[in-house]
Structure 1
Amino acid sequence: MQNSATIASDFAELPATASRGPLRIEYRWINDAAADTRADTRIAVFLHEGLGSIAMWRDWPQALCERLGMRGLVYSRPGYGLSTPRAHGVKWPVDFMAHQACDVLPALLDALDIDMPARQRTWLIGHSDGGSIALLYAARHAGALAGAVTIAPHVFVEDISVQSIAQTKQLYETTDLRNKLGRYHADVDSAFYGWNDIWLNPAFRQWSIVGELAAIREPLLAIQGHDDNYGTMAQIDTIAQHVPHARLVKLDACGHSPHRDVPDKLNDAIAAFIASQT
């Protein structure tokens, strides 16, 4: 397996729209060997967590893509990694995840010449905020993907989430957490406060995408750890209530990041689910 640290990032230029300026998005293709063997190779697009980036995924996307026999696309959302940073005076809006699902991700796929047949072979694999973005994309782009895997997603705001995010802010401002996160972001304050400020904004307490879930038609796997300090099983149980065909996996001895806590169990669950859909 190739070490992700040895792979240089590429950059996609997204033109300005009526609602935002131009964006420069850091991305990488992984497991290109899969693309060399079949013209109809499936693609896994990875959507990172609220403080994530390409670098923070480390080698897990590569390992999973090799297991699945898929080509993978990882990218850093605006404000993260080496992508266009968030201007420090700009606050993410309450619907920032819908903006990512309906504007930034489709624009990136366009920029990379991923046409509709290729999108229909694409699996979205999202973690935390990225899991919510995957759900929103699936709900609003029926027929434009093969399926989705959502890991520790948020579909509404829980007290446990707000409490943990407030604690993380204290750690960021009083410990070496800022320096640690600085390894993964060109502008670490842009990344951290973009995420932290919106989640701690009182207006965000009313945020919910529950009403959108019933529109999801493609295969859906929702995964949650029993020891997640950013959300409870109510998140994926709510998904199951509104998406009857969704399959749930609840992982023991697992916190908010199954790809770090129990990667083998996570990979087994994802591989088994995707195999069952083909």
Structure 2
Amino acid sequence: MKGRIIEVKGKNLYTEHDNLFEDRPTIVFLHDSLGSVQLYRDFPARLSETAQCNILAYDRLGYGKSFPMLTHERPVHYMELEADLLNDLLTEMDLDKVILFGHSDGGTIALITAAKYPERVKAVICEAGHIFVEEVTLKGVCEAWEAYKTTNLAERLQKYHGDKVDTLFKAWTETWTRDDYRSWNIEHLLKHITVPLLFIQGEADEYGTLDQVEKTVSQVSGYAEKYIIPGIGHTPHKEAPELILKKAAEFIGKFF
């Protein structure tokens, strides 16, 4: 995929876009709290080929090759702002038939975008997303912060994020563990999701329980199915890529 920087309302975002399949949807990949386009590795290209769809992957502001965040301090509703910026990016690129594939934070942003911009989003694949804060999530965040301070995690992440690592890591850990973030919840938006939804989660996810899945699929207004994988943790597309490719392509094939 060819990479380029696109300016969206004064913010520069790094994108990789392949438009190989005429009259087919575009799968938009949304990475997690420490992720990037590079960290998705070859998964987008493989799903593109399997599902015969176009693809767009981008680094959120402050991540990967996109421009840095000005500060690590985020508002409680930062993922709604991310959904708005994604809609602006899709407008800039003139993409209006998209399937969102989001992992973790990216999964949450996919759900919010589908709720707010139903005219553009045609389906959602949410992998290990969150709709409210759980103790297991906070435990995982705290353990990651400890690893950041005591191991070479920061050095490993610099390969993908350069000198933005410290800011983005604090943005994630400090936001999620703030007192005012405990009440964050997007369940009120779920009824506005009318497009088909596939929710994928590892049964051994260290950042969320199956309540996230059950409460999501039971509250959206459109078709919804869940895919729970025994023995798999927070990143099914890395831990069980063949299973996810097959399931995602089958789901897409039902509607497109």
TM-score by length of 1: 0.88
Q: Which runs of 5+ in 2 are unaligned?
A: none
Looking at structure 2, the residues matched to 112 and 140 of structure 1 have their Cα atoms a distance apart, in angstroms, of: 18
Q: Is the 8 A contact 2:125 2:197 kept in 1?
A: yes
Write the mapping of 1:236-247 to structure 2, written as runs, cut at 5 A: 236-243=213-220, 245-247=223-225
Matches of 1:233 and 1:42, distance apart in 2: 29
Amino acid at match of 2:135: D
Structure 1 counterpart of 2:20: 33
- Alpha-carbon distance in 1 for matches of 2:49, 2:176: 35
How far residue 50 of structure 1 moved from its aligned partner, in angstroms, is 0.9
Partner of 1:232: 209
Residues 45 and 125 in structure 1, CA contact (< 8 A), matched pair in contact too:
yes
Structure 1 residue 10 corresponds to structure 2 residue 10: no
Shift of 1:259: 0.7
Q: CA deviation at 1:209?
A: 0.4
Counterpart of 2:68?
85
Please report how far the alpha carbon of residue 8 of structure 1 lies from its aligned counterpart in structure 2 after TM superposition: 5.3
Distance 2:175 2:62 in 1: 13
Q: Structure 1 residue 155 and structure 2 residue 131: aligned?
A: yes
Partner of 2:103: 127
5 Å-filtered alignment, 1:1-278, equals 9-15=3-9, 22-30=10-18, 32-34=19-21, 38=22, 40-88=23-71, 90-102=72-84, 104-114=85-95, 119=96, 121-186=97-162, 187-243=164-220, 245-278=223-256
Deviating beyond 4 angstroms after TM superposition, the runs of 4 or more aligned structure 1 residues are none
CA contact (8 A) 2:2 2:17 kept: no
RMSD (Å) for aligned C-alpha atoms: 1.3
Structure 1 unpaired stretches of 5+: 1-6, 16-21
Partner AA of 1:105 in structure 2: L
Q: Quick one: distance in 1 between partners of 2:26 and 2:20?
A: 12
The CA deviation at 1:135 is 0.3
Pairwise CA distance, 1:264: 0.7
Q: Deviations over 1:218-264 (max 9, x none)?
A: 11111110010000100010012202621111011211000100011
1:139-194 Cα distance to aligned partner (Å, 9 max, x none) = 11123221111000000000000011011001001110000111110311122111
- Per-residue CA deviation, residues 17-61 of structure 1 (Å, 9 max, x unaligned), is xxxxx211011013x433xxx2x1210001111111111111111
| Count of aligned pairs | 254
Percent identity between the two aligned chains: 33
Q: Find the aligned partners of 2:81 and 2:20 in 1 and give their Cα distance.
A: 32
CA distance in 2, matches of 1:263, 1:253: 14
